[in-house]
Amino acid sequence: MTRAGGWLLAAGALTLPLCLQSTYHLHVAIMAGIFGVLAMSLNLLLGYTGQLSLGHTAFFGIGAYTSALLTLKLEWSFWPACAAAVGLAGAAGFFIGRLALKLRGAYFVLVTISFAGVISLVSVNWIELTNGPLGLPGVPAPELGPWSLRTKTAYYYLVLAAVALSYAVCRRLVRSRIGRALMALRENEALAESIGVDVTHYLVLAAVVSAAMAGLGGSLYAHYTRFVSPEVFLFTYTVTMVIMVVAGGKGTLAGPLVGAVLFTVLPETLRAVASWQWQMLAYGLLLVLLLFFLPRGIVPQISAYIAGPPRSDPGSRAPSP
Amino acid sequence: MAELLQHLLNGLVLGGTYALLGIGLTLIFGLINVVNFAHGEFYTLGAYVSFAVLALAGIGFFVALVAAIVVGAALGWLCEVALLRPLRNESIDTTMLVMIGVWIAMQNAELLGWGGVAKSIPHPFPTAPLVLGPVAIAPLRLFVLVLAAGLIAASWLLIQKTKLGRAMRATFQDRDTAALMGVGIGRIHAATFAFGSGLAAAAGALLGPIFLVYPSMGDLASLKAFSVVILGGLGNLPGATLGGLLLGIAEELGAGYISSGYRDAVGFVIIILILLFRPSGLFARQERIA
Amino acid sequence: MGKRSIGLVALVLVALAALAVPGHSQAPIKIGVIEPLSGPVAASGNYVRMGAEIARDWINAKGGIAGRKIDLLIEDNKSDPKEAASAAEKLIVRDKVPAIMGAWGSSMTLAAMPKLEEYGVPMVVETSSAASITKRGNPWIFRISPPSEMEALGLEQYVDKLGVKRVDFLAVNTDWGRGSITAFGDMLKKRGAAVGVAEFMDQSATDMNAQITKIKATGGDTLFLTTAVEQITLVMKQAQEQRLTRKIVTTGGSSSPTQLIKQAGAAAEGSYHIVFFMPWFPESMPDGKLAKAFVDEWAKRGHPFEGLTEGFRGHDGIATIAEAIRVAGKDEAAAVRDALWKVSLMGVNGPIKFEKDGPTGKESGQSKPSIFVVQIRDGKVALPDFLAKK
């Protein structure tokens, strides 16, 4: 990603509301942004530590419910509620991290699924707190001083800021010593441990940041859709997040964002072009095809293409991230 | 007391069906290391094949069961060869994602083909329950339990006594050595996937008449199957059997004495506890490095 | 490999471009429909869709509204509130529909409601039962289905005749099931009945034996059951296996007694069902001719008979919207909304006319639908024994 390219992208993102033809498109852009934050959070765990969490909706849901409940029942303003959502989700991440990160591979996957399952059942059954299946309608829109951020354009910029923040956090983390330690873990855990990398410590750290970011996504979701119900824990959201990360390119910074945009736009495009009977079937088939032809993900594949076929001389440039 | 006995009996019957689902998955998961989210779809497929044979063609129950197994195994073999084998060197999450795609595609194809209305499969058993003292059980369920036990026993025999079974066990224990010893790894993978999917389809054909057949019936089945696999230990067939029974009874008692709303939480909590304290499963004899 | 990834980038660009193409405005009047057409309740969503299509074809056969035909724009909400909101957004902004019918489940409807207020487009709610839908102060909501409280009131007159003294509840663990338990529980207590246990089942659960065993132990005389027809079938079969011998009353109108007879057989014998349409004796409906015509048309199209108890909702919803457009004189959202307060028409269920419901100044519209009780006797659907004795 060259510097000029980066500036161009930023300019495009900032002026998007002016270029788009309708608020429906803005709606799609906002959803893409929220899922971008979620995908990046999952990527921290999946792409950089190699551990697959299929329970990320738990942190997403905790963030959404915390933010909604604090603004609805205790009448907090959006900003502290959002911070609380991020904090609580992060705490949950710490809890799961400490417990579950003794496990690896498929076992870790199953613990995360079970955790999300339990949280989901609590949200359905603990009526006094969460209002159960009836959900929490009427979550207020955020306010910045005297201005309400209710309009789509305003909310778009809020989400854009969150996306930029999350990206920056990921980037700092990945490029720091912590990031290098994580990647060492991903490549060869035993070896990393042998040279003194404290495995559990770094994994838990990644889990906390990852969960906190997912909580941010949850809070943004709650205040945009203004309705939170136990359906936020639906397994399809987990599946969507995973698809975005893996198809976009896990272990890259841009991959999850590309994946988020593609897989938010794709179902809406299918809604426009395919009659309802064929939409989900087409979606499943497209997914299989995509993975078949681009198993590493879109961004790594494009980077590899740009860098050209690997040459045997050691002086060749490394592919861009 | 009668209530407790009835709960236990319910749990046993339920558990037998969970066991059948778990066995197929534990082999696939354990041997090929694929997080097979489409497992529940083979279960659904078996139920629909059984419906087609019984309700539409009007042929007998056993034919339907055999047909379901054959179709399930064939499709499973196809999945492995066409989708998983080319992606063999990719990471576990890529193959998992492919199976998720298969899951979405299969379920929606069934929705398209059969419609969303639940179908009921006719069966020749009387509906009046058999009364055994203070408890009651339907003849159909007893029959299904017996058949399930038979299938489990047959699978056990296949794994232990046949050449194919030996090859599968060898591949499971140490793939590279097995390959060096001349075992065709590709063939074993395909055979395992076919076997596991065939068993799932059999479970669907057996349970179809007890419950109802509809496109999303496999979703919960997949999740329960994973619970059973964890309980019993990856690749551990008797473990999966016992794990299935245990899960059924635990769920039944939990729903009966604690809360019916949190019924499914029982399975989840069990998974969490087992994985934290005994990750190799309740019944594994040796410790596997997770 | 490189060529393929270029292809994929092209696909993304095309997808983005497709979104940018503006919708054309056409002569037909567009009405939006949001239903769960895939997922666990796909059957019900599709029945409503089929009923809506019959209404559309009948109206178009009579020349449409002021010479213009109606066009139904059907969206799938995939039983997911987020999708329901997206579908509403697309219908309103891209397709510019003046009115919508939807969204079946209460959570889906609640999720779409903010969009209605944001853009000022009315929605006719045809199935959802949560009380909060009309009490939230959303003046763009018009409901023709009964909230659980209204349903309970509809049964109140029969409580003594039914002989309900001790009642237990078994409901699906959703807003519908829970709301039903609260509404019927309050009504029954007012009539002097004792309430025993309230058990729940997950929407996709197939084994309810634990709950049935618990209910059996309470010694009550009646079981109120609220869930979709597939689960009702399973509960009845499992109750029969456990020899549960008490009156069963199903609520919510999604019980499809015909399907129950087919699939639960003898286990369904004697059970009572609250329904909002009686396709077995259409002449007894408030507009017998219309009801009969609907039943005949449904059969002519080869739709399954058991879907009628839900399909009629689609018809009544579209008929209501069409009538409002006719009264308004134009297919413009605010005008249609105002017209909805003025409409008075005859649907398959009965008369439809909206009354104010909810906080003053921001009322939603709620119609008072007709409520019926039927019973399964001798393997057929009949009027309940306590009524027939007259």
Range(s) of the domain holding residue B151: 2-277
Q: Is C80 on the interface with A (CB under 8 A)?
A: yes
Residue whose structure tokens are 């359905």 = A124
The interface residues of chain B toward chain C in range 224-253, judged by CB-CB distance below 8 A, are 251-253
Range(s) of the domain holding residue C246: 150-275
Q: Which of B5, B7, B10, B110 has the highest number of chain C CBs within 10 A, making it the mutation to test binding with C?
A: B10
Q: Which of A42, A52, A121, A238 has the highest number of chain B CBs within 10 A, making it the mutation to test binding with B?
A: A121
Q: Is B278 on the interface with C (CB under 8 A)?
A: no
Q: How far is B87 from chain C (nearest CA, A)?
A: 15
- Which pLDDT score, from 0 to 100, does residue A82 have? 93
- Does residue C338 carry a pLDDT above 50? yes
Q: How far is C16 from chain A (nearest CA, A)?
A: 7
Going by pLDDT thresholds of 50, 70 and 90, the confidence category of residue C22 is very low
- For C257-277, what is each residue's pLDDT tens digit? 988 888 888 889 999 999 999
Going by pLDDT thresholds of 50, 70 and 90, the confidence category of residue C21 is very low
Q: Pick the closest to residue A273 from C15, C103, C27, C49 (CA basis).
A: C15
Long-range Cβ contact pairs of A14-18 (< 8 A, separation 24 or more): A14/A160, A16/A156, A17/A152, A17/A153, A17/A156, A17/A157
In a domain, B285, yes or no: no
Interchain pair C233, B255: CB under 8 A: no
What is the distance between the alpha carbons of residues C264 and C221, in angstroms, rounded to a whole number?
A: 21
Contact A293, B98 (CB under 8 A): no
* HSE-up of residue B88 (Cα within 13 Å, Cβ side): 11
B10 neighbourhood in chain C, CB within 8 Å: 207, 209-210, 213
What is the distance between the alpha carbons of residues B47 and B45, in angstroms, rounded to a whole number?
A: 5
Over residues C34-50, the mean pLDDT reads 88
In a domain, B151, yes or no: yes
Q: Which of A52, A111, A125, A266 has the highest number of chain B CBs within 10 A, making it the mutation to test binding with B?
A: A111
Quick one: C266 and C164 in the same domain? yes
Phi, psi of C375 (to 5 degrees): -135, 150
First to last CA, chain C: 80
- Does residue C362 carry a pLDDT above 70? yes
Question: Which residues of chain A are under the pLDDT cut of 70?
Answer: 1-2, 101, 105-106, 309-321
Give residues with Cβ within 8 angstroms of B197, minimum separation 6: B24, B28, B39, B42, B72, B73, B75, B76, B77, B79
Q: Cα Rg for chain A, rounded, in angstroms?
A: 20
What is the distance between the alpha carbons of residues A246 and A46, in angstroms, rounded to a whole number?
A: 9
What is the distance between the alpha carbons of residues C309 and C298, in angstroms, rounded to a whole number?
A: 11
In a domain, C285, yes or no: no
Over residues C339-344, the mean pLDDT reads 94
Tokens coding C122 = 């009315």
- For B26-69, what is each residue's pLDDT tens digit? 888 888 888 888 999 999 999 999 988 887 777 777 888 899 99
Q: Is C22 on the interface with A (CB under 8 A)?
A: yes
* Domain segments of chain A as ranges: 23-234
- Among C275, C302, C330, residue at a domain's last position: C275
Percent of chain C, pLDDT > 90?
56
Contact B234, B28 (CB under 8 A): no
- Which pLDDT score, from 0 to 100, does residue B282 have? 62
How many domains, chain B? 1
The interface residues of chain A toward chain B in range 212-271, judged by CB-CB distance below 8 A, are 235, 239, 242-243, 246-247, 250
Which 3-state string (H, E, C) describes chain A?
Answer: CCHHHHHHHHHHHHHHHHHCCCHHHHHHHHHHHHHHHHHHHHHHHHHHHCCCCCCHHHHHHHHHHHHHHHHHCCCCCHHHHHHHHHHHHHHHHHHHHHHHCCCCHHHHHHHHHHHHHHHHHHHHHCHHHHCHHHCEECCCCCEECCEECCCHHHHHHHHHHHHHHHHHHHHHHHHCHHHHHHHHHHHCHHHHHHCCCCHHHHHHHHHHHHHHHHHHHHHHHHHHHCEECHHHHCHHHHHHHHHHHHHHCCCCCCHHHHHHHHHHHHHHHHHHHCCHHHHHHHHHHHHHHHHHHCCCCHHHHHHHHHHCCCCCCCCCCCCCC
> What is the dihedral angle through the alpha carbons of A53, A55, A59, A64, rounded to the nearest 10 degrees?
140
In a domain, C356, yes or no: yes
**How far lies B262's CA from each of B18, B275, C64, in Å?**
19, 20, 51
- Which pLDDT score, from 0 to 100, does residue B283 have? 60
- Which pLDDT score, from 0 to 100, does residue B279 have? 65
In a domain, B68, yes or no: yes
What is the distance between the alpha carbons of residues B93 and A51, in angstroms, rounded to a whole number?
A: 9
How many domains, chain C? 2
CATH of the domain at B203: 1.10.3470
Task: Identify the chains in contact with A, defined as 3+ C-beta pairs within 8 A.
Answer: B, C
Q: How far is A193 from chain B (nearest CA, A)?
A: 16
In a domain, B125, yes or no: yes
- For C94-125, what is each residue's pLDDT tens digit? 899 999 999 998 889 999 999 999 899 999 99
Q: Pick the closest to residue C367 from C65, C92, C143 (CA basis).
A: C143
CATH of the domain at C189: 3.40.50.2300
Give the residue on C whose Cα is nearest the Cα of A125.
Answer: C173
- Does residue C293 carry a pLDDT above 90? yes
In a domain, B290, yes or no: no
**DSSP secondary structure of C92-145:** IIIS--S-EE--SSHHHHHHHHHHHHHHT--EEESS---THHHHS--TTEEE-S
B27 neighbourhood in chain A, CB within 8 Å: none
In a domain, B7, yes or no: yes
C21, amino acid identity: V
Over residues C27-33, the mean pLDDT reads 92
What is the distance between the alpha carbons of residues A13 and A7, in angstroms, rounded to a whole number?
A: 10
**How far lies A260's CA from each of A270, C230, C236, in Å?**
16, 36, 45
Q: Is A225 on the interface with C (CB under 8 A)?
A: yes
In a domain, B78, yes or no: yes
- Which pLDDT score, from 0 to 100, does residue C146 have? 92
Helix A199-225 vs helix A152-175: crossing angle, to nearest 10 = 170
Q: How far is A51 from chain B (nearest CA, A)?
A: 9
**DSSP secondary structure of C190-257:** HTTPEEEEEEEE-TT----HHHHHHHHTT--SEEEEES-HHHHHHHHHHHHHTT--SEEEE-SS---H
Give the residue on C whose Cα is nearest the Cα of B127.
Answer: C241
B199-238: burial string, b at 16+ Cβ within 10 Å, e else: bbbbbbbbbbbbbbbbbbbbbbbbbbbbbbbbbbbbbbbe
Residue whose structure tokens are 């005749």 = C161
Quick one: C205 and C315 in the same domain? no
